[in-house]
Amino acid sequence: MSKNNKNEVVMSVKNLTKIFKSGIFNPEYTTAVKDVSFDIEKGKIISLIGESGSGKTTVGKLILKLINPSSGQIIYKGQDIAEITDKKDTQKYYRRVQGIFQDPFATFNPLYRVDRVFDMIFDSYELGFSDKDEAIRKVLHDVNLNPDRTLGKFPHQLSGGQLQRLLIARALLMDVDILIADELISMLDASTRIGVLNLLVESCKKNGMAVIFITHDLNLGYYISDQSLIMYKGRLVERGATKKIYENSTHPYTKMLFEAVPEIGDRWDPEEEFLPEQVVGEVKDFYQNNQGRGFVEVEKGHSVLFSDE
């Protein structure tokens, strides 16, 4: 089957819930993710959007098997990944599902040259390249890095943008199915961001890699993604084609996110206040007025959570 087949689902997230417990004698329970469902399609970019504490990073960690779900399923190649416990099978999973995180400097050991990220995957996996060095140089060219100026360097000798490109190169070399990009460019300067984003888009379309782009930035989500998922207090409240959500946002929380985005030319009103409790109240009223409706498709390819029951 071609890697570029459209609408090919590579992973299904079904009713995913994660509850954290803290304390022993008087334990407290926090629901970080509740009843989240969506499909990941080959060659598509999904933006998972929400403010801090919305649960979006927890979803990424669940997909990467860094934490275990309280309930629900993540189905990859017909198997619930919670059933993958054997070391060899887990290694096979990470061969195809990888993550890149916010701080590229934290990913690299400062005591080793950056080449080590490639050495480690060649030591761990059978990648099928007859010439390892040639494969590395080619993939570096693909991410717009000069091999002669990159290989042999220590992490502190490269910029954050270069290190992120190295991690994308590693994912391409492994030919991953799914890449979790958690706040991938938030630590990069503005001039570097667009290059990394464009590289991500090109890699998806060329190699059929699917990306979960976790961000709090609506503008970045609009620029890069095919689909968008809006999260609020652990719930998925709006999902669908990015253009449709941005042009016809329906859930009160989604509307609030868009209203909070500053527009060029608009003067900032120092008297204007943002009241979080007002948003909470609007969401509560929205759910009460639509009791029992649940997730509803408001237009083709665009669904909204009308009630959280």
Q: Which helix (H) or strand (E) element contains residue 139?
A: helix 132-142
Residue 188 pLDDT more than 80?
no
For the chain, how many structural domains are there in total? Answer: 1
Domain presence at residue 301:
no
Quick one: DSSP state of residue 280? H
Query: What is the value of pTM for the model shown?
Result: 0.85
Domain presence at residue 303:
no
Return the pLDDT at 292: 87
Under the banding of pLDDT at 50, 70 and 90, the label for residue 298 is: very high
Residue 18 pLDDT more than 60?
yes
Range of the domain at 26: 9-225
Contacts of 106 (CB under 8 A, 6+ apart): none
254: buried, middle or exposed (CB in 10 Å: 19+, 13-18, 0-12)?
buried
CATH number, domain of 85, equals 3.40.50.300
* 97-131 confidence digits (pLDDT tens): 999 887 778 888 899 999 998 998 888 888 888 88
Structure tokens at 101: 């995180």
Domain presence at residue 170:
yes
What mean pLDDT do residues 159-166 have? 85
Q: Select, from the ranges 9-18, 20-29, 101-110, 214-223, the one with the highest average predicted confidence (pLDDT).
A: 9-18
Residue 3 pLDDT more than 60?
no
Return the pLDDT at 153: 93
Domain presence at residue 92:
yes
CB hemisphere CA count around 42 (13 angstroms): 19
Task: Count the helix, strand and coil residues of the chain and give each as a percent rounded to the nearest 5.
Answer: 40, 25, 35
